[in-house]
A and B are shown apart, each in its own frame.
Chain A
Amino acid sequence: MSELVLSAWSVVSPYGVGSDPFSEGIGAGRSAVDALDREAWPGPFDRCGLVPDFTAAKYVGKKGTRTMDRVTAIAVTAVGRLLASCGDELTARPEQVGLVLGTGSGSVQSIMDFTRDSLAGERPYHVDPACFPNTVMNRAAGQSAIWHGIKGPNTTVAGGWLTGLLALSYAVRLHRGGHCARVLCGAAEEYSTQRAWLEWHGRGADEQSTPLGEGGAVFLMETAADAHAAGRAPLARILATRFGAYAERADAQQALADCVRSAVRRAGVAPEDIRLVAPLGADGKLGALEESGITDALGAAKPEWIRCRPLLGDTSAASTSLQLAAVLATAGESGLGPGEAALVTGIDRDGTVGCAVLGGADPS
């Protein structure tokens, strides 16, 4: 089976738009969480990892973006920058390019604004019909395809904090099943007042004060042969994804340890080959269980840990995609080296765990 590689990526993050500010910020370990302009962003939080000065008009353009919501603009921007960095050849056969995009629940702000107009307006149907598609959760993926002319399979994936890993796994299968030649895969999340209130009320006590963040990351997945033919050096091979579940919180550590062991075994790498580990790192108990689970699985290995959450805030559905971007940022422009591997993990509060193992590109 021809193995898929990651050969290009783009990111929109609290460090700014683009991979350069992201790589610089992650490399320096500098937090991008900052004070929130309370007038523009009312709600329960006063700090946030907001993408600075980000608007659809500024980054997507003024034309056709009047009703474009923030998460859609983040996705359209991230996908657009990825395509621009790869050149026209990538979309020469647009029906052969798939797009798999992770989301939390679409834009809860768009959904709830629409209902509010129905409930608070003079007539229950006094809503803006142009905003209706924003309330459907495939909007960001669909609009990215429309904006950039991507005609292959277009799938939206949701799975809480594990969304990015689940999107990656889905995309690998989509490719292996012969549904497309290349896949753009990632996740996006917006900051909004409504998301903030839902998180504030819905969170457990041990994570309530964690600032929220937003952003998105998109990766180009293709075979190594296709990457080389297009003049792109593979940055990492996708060796394995693995998932599991736990019933009680106390079992989360064991569930993740089993999951990581299994993935590392399937990937055919030794624990000591793992140079980089990027955990989800939830505040409170789950984060501690996650680190212990990883340590249990990797034994005496001494990897470098990349902890995104203190730097970016809780980016919810975009979390694991941004962790993957952080791995590539840390690996540097030529990607993971031969013989090197990296691990991205997550434990979700709804009882699921997951991980991905990446390997250095073949020297050939």
Chain B
Amino acid sequence: MVYDSDHGPRRVVITGLGAVTSIGLGVTAFLDGLRSGRSGVKPITAFDTTGFAHANGCEVTDFDPAEWIHRVDPAELGRASQFSVAAARMAVEDAGMDLEEFRRRPALVSVGTTDAESRDLDTLVGVQLEDGPEKLPPVMARRAQAGRLSSGIVRELGLTDVEALTIPTACAAGNYAIGSGYDAIREGDVDVALCGGADAVCRKTFTGFYRLGTIAPEVCQPFDKDRKGILTGEGAGILLMESLESAQARGARIYAEVLGYGLNCDAHHPVAPDQDSLARCMEVAHRNAGVKPEDIDFISAHGTGTRANDVTEAGAIRQVFDAPPPTISIKSMIGHSMGAASALASAACALALTEGFIPPTINHRETDPECGLDCVPNEARATELNVVQNNALAFAGNNAVLILGRYREAE
């Protein structure tokens, strides 16, 4: 990259957070949940679970779209888009940015997802089986599109000078989306970005993981020797990002600075992760962010709680870190919220940097010696933090590692 010497790449900071999660709506409730180690687990209600031996999940149960979505008719948005739009509203409010001011700025909207509106597609299959394909409800057929997760935000906020994309890079999509916003602001293409991820619990994905034998019967226990798998979850995390200059000019509170990120692809197996490739992705992220392994104060792991993920991820971490820092998984609290997962984990990292604590890995009894990491079991740990790392892995070997740093005024 070559820059005009007078206009180096801009620094990028996070100044607003929106969170729709099974442990709380809005940044305050989410923070409280992370700090107190709240669990979002409950029996799934999104679909009829008859015939499954067990069906716990982490659903968002107290969400009223009308509370957050004002300009767009919520019925024109599927559940994932509703989450995405609501979280974007929250992020703008949390950033204290006047909406009129937001609209005047060139913006990027980038939302990651695994399933987009597959919840609607499930419902439409049900209608087909009952009444035939001729009878699909038009509004639902129309809204069941991945692009709606980002264009819904544009419509709700009334943006015009905006580039809006959805990034359906599965379970690492949140980090991909945040990375796209970082690049766009850094290089001066836009002034502000709303980036993150959203997904809704659906039969299709629960069934797929259940069939693979990776759904935990009760709770999610990342890095525990008795871990039994994932719990499917849902929600949205949207981060408002802007240049440091812009944040300073309006006196905004800065949660964290985005230091950089790394992406790569195993190009090896459709579902099984690859340790060496993941290790390389972390190294790329460190290099891009200008940090060394010993600078990382904790790792927010992908940490799904499956046997394969946790051992592979822990192995990759040990490959990169001589002395691995505390490594936690908020999936123990909010389940695997798919495309929202790494976005919500990024939001958690930003809050951790600001508030000075490491979120816990709950449901933890005994650490798997094969993982051998300090997962900050069950209780949050108060500590000063400077640099944190957020891992994300996806089907097809799509890895994304994000590095966030504490922003200090004196720098």
Chain A residues with CB under 8 Å of chain B are 1-2, 43-44, 94-95, 98-99, 103-106, 108, 111-112, 114-116, 118-120, 123-125, 127, 129, 132-133, 135-139, 141-143, 145-146, 148-160, 163, 166, 169-170, 173-174, 176-179, 193, 197-198, 200-203, 243-247, 255, 348, 350-352, 354
Contact = CB atoms under 8 A, between A and B. Distances in A.
Given A158-B166, A159-B147, A201 B267 contact: no
Contacts of B36: none
Given A105-B117, A137-B115, A352-B151, A115 B264 contact: no
21 contacts: A104-B146, A105-B146, A111-B121, A115-B125, A124-B52, A129-B208, A135-B118, A145-B265, A151-B277, A153-B264, A156-B168, A158-B116, A158-B145, A173-B184, A177-B183, A179-B262, A197-B141, A198-B144, A201-B142, A202-B138, A351-B151
Contacts of A111: 118, 121, 204
Nearest to A114: B204
A350 B156 CA distance: 12
Contacts of B146: 103-106, 137, 158
B43 interface: no
Top 3 closest pairs, chain A to chain B, by CB: A142-B396, A202-B142, A137-B168
Given A43-B133, A125-B211, A174-B183, A158 B264 contact: no
Contacts of B268: 146
Interface of B: 1-3, 49-52, 113-118, 121-122, 124-126, 128-129, 133-134, 136-138, 141-148, 150-151, 154-155, 158-170, 173, 176, 180, 183-184, 186-187, 189, 203-205, 207-208, 210-212, 262-271, 277, 280, 288, 394-398
A95 B148 CA distance: 32
Given A160-B147, A350-B151, A354-B163, 15 more contacts: A1-B2, A108-B144, A114-B207, A115-B122, A119-B125, A119-B126, A142-B265, A151-B267, A152-B265, A157-B168, A159-B147, A160-B145, A170-B165, A203-B142, A247-B158
Contacts of A146: 267-270, 396-397
B207 A125 contact: yes
Given A154-B398, A160-B145, A244-B160, A136 B207 contact: no
Contacts of A255: 160
Contact of A177 (B151, B159, B186, B277): B186
A118 B263 CA distance: 34
Given A118-B203, A158-B147, A99 B141 contact: no
B53 to A, nearest CB: 9
A217 B142 CA distance: 25
A155 B116 contact: no
Nearest to B116: A105
Contacts of B166: 157-159
Given A138-B170, A151-B277, A245-B159, A350 B118 contact: no
Given A129-B208, A152-B264, A173 B159 contact: no
B204 A155 contact: no
Given A136-B170, A202-B141, A115 B204 contact: yes
A285 B186 CA distance: 38
Given A112-B125, A348-B151, A151 B160 contact: no
Contact of B265 (A99, A200, A247): A99
A177 B169 CA distance: 19
A150 B133 contact: no
Contacts of A112: 121, 124-125, 128
Nearest to B158: A247
A333 B324 CA distance: 54
Contact of A105 (B144, B205, B269): B144
A329 B207 CA distance: 45
Contacts of B180: 170, 173
Contact of B266 (A116, A151, A155): A151
A203 B136 CA distance: 12
A155 B263 CA distance: 9
Contacts of A118: 203-204, 207
A2 to B, nearest CB: 7
B22 to A, nearest CB: 21
Contacts of B126: 119
B129 A2 contact: no
A123 B52 CA distance: 8
Given A136-B395, A138-B396, A178 B207 contact: no
Contacts of A1: 1-3
Most chain B Cβ neighbours within 10 Å, of A143, A154, A163, A352 = A154
A145 B396 contact: yes
Contacts of B137: 201
A84 to B, nearest CB: 17
B207 A127 contact: yes
Nearest to A139: B396
Nearest to B152: A350
A302 to B, nearest CB: 30
B163 A124 contact: no
Given A132-B212, A169-B163, A350-B151, A151 B125 contact: no
Contacts of B394: 138, 142
A129 B398 contact: no
Contact of B398 (A105, A142, A170, A351): A142
A103 B168 contact: yes
Contacts of B176: 155
A200 B137 CA distance: 11
Contacts of B128: 112, 116, 197
Contacts of B144: 105, 108, 198, 202
Contact of B165 (A136, A148, A157): A157
A142 B270 contact: yes
A166 B163 contact: yes
B378 to A, nearest CB: 32
Contacts of B395: 133, 136, 138-139, 142
A319 B108 CA distance: 22
Given A115-B121, A124-B207, A152-B264, A160 B151 contact: yes
